[in-house]
């Protein structure tokens, strides 16, 4: 069955809170995923960092594979790595449903996006706060998802940069209704409504879920905020 079917499901709701597993307890990964499933999340966001494109180092294919074995939820895999086009097949094989590369990490984002789409996987393109929307405009037709970073890629827990809101507003006018807009970095109870109002449909959340004692309550509170936009 096509993995791109998950894109159709994610488009159905005006907004979806996606937990970023960067801050989860990897020593108890199955328990963490079960709690997130019970909280009603619609997908999991996995941040892959290589220590080169970004200064931090996280995890790779084995964690994606482990998540795939543990859940049927869509896996939204965000590659913060150099030369991501060399690893598209491996992450697809590991179980990714959406693969997002960074515009800053490749000379020709369009080629890498086409490779992802050829594998019947959702193709995403991410931009850092200092990267303009204009610089990726010619690639938007190849994007199933555009990820606007509201912090510099590489570390969790950074403060939200409002420049992301303007980029989301511009992108909302440029993409068609089949292209999902996503925002990542500093999304919490104070910023989530502004992100959705600017056009974000997928709201990646880390600290505001994983540093709370009850994931279900945290997700419900964030989701309820999006319902008031």
Count of structural domains, the chain: 1
What's residue 195's pLDDT?
97
pTM: 0.95
Alpha carbon of 168 to those of 122, 157, 193: distances in Å?
19, 21, 13
Tell me, yes or no, if 47 is annotated catalytic: yes
As to burial, measured by CB atoms within 10 angstroms (0-12 exposed, 13-18 middle, 19+ buried), residue 177 is exposed
Residue from 47, 50, 97, 144 carrying the catalytic annotation = 47
Reported as a single tens digit per residue, the pLDDT across 163-187 is 999 999 999 999 999 999 999 999 9
Please give the sequence-ordered ranges of beta strands (E in DSSP) within 115-222, or none if there are none. 122-127, 145-149, 180-184, 202-205
What's residue 156's pLDDT?
59
Residue from 72, 184, 194, 217 carrying the catalytic annotation = 184
Q: How many residues does the chain have?
A: 229
Tokens standing for residue 218: 């945290």
Q: Cα(104)–Cα(53) distance, rounded to whole angstroms?
A: 9
CATH classification of the domain holding 23: 3.20.20.70
Q: Cα(201)–Cα(1) distance, rounded to whole angstroms?
A: 24
- Domain interval for residue 186: 5-227
pLDDT tens, position by position, for the chain (229 residues)? 678 888 888 988 889 999 999 999 999 999 999 999 999 999 999 999 999 999 888 999 999 999 999 999 999 999 999 999 999 999 999 999 999 999 999 999 999 999 999 998 999 999 999 999 999 999 999 999 999 999 988 765 668 999 999 999 999 999 999 999 999 999 999 999 999 999 999 999 999 999 999 999 999 999 999 987 6
What's residue 155's pLDDT?
65
Alpha carbon of 153 to those of 20, 21, 68, 141: distances in Å?
13, 15, 24, 24
What's residue 229's pLDDT?
61
């Amino acid at each position: 069955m096509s993995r791109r079917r998950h894109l159709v499901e994610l488009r159905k709701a005006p907004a979806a809170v996606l937990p970023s597993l960067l801050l989860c307890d990897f020593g108890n990964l199955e328990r963490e995923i079960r709690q997130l499933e019970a909280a009603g999340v619609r997908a999991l966001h996995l941040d892959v960092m290589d220590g080169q494109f970004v200064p931090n180092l996280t995890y790779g294919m084995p964690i994606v594979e482990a998540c795939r074995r543990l859940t049927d939820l869509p896996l939204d895999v965000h590659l913060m790595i150099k030369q991501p086009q060399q690893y598209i097949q491996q992450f697809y094989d590991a179980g990714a449903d959406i693969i997002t590369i960074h515009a800053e990490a490749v000379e020709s984002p369009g080629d890498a996006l086409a490779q992802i789409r050829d594998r019947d996987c959702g193709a995403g393109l991410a931009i850092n706060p200092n990267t303009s929307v204009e610089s990726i405009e010619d690639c938007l037709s190849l994007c199933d998802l555009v990820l606007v970073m509201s912090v510099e890629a590489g570390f969790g827990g950074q403060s939200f940069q409002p420049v992301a809101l303007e980029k989301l507003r511009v992108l909302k006018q440029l993409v068609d209704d089949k292209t999902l807009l996503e925002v990542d970095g500093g999304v919490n109870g104070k910023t989530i409504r502004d992100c959705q109002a600017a056009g974000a449909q997928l709201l990646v959340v880390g600290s505001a879920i994983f540093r709370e004692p009850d994931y279900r309550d945290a997700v419900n509170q964030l989701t309820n905020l999006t319902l008031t936009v």
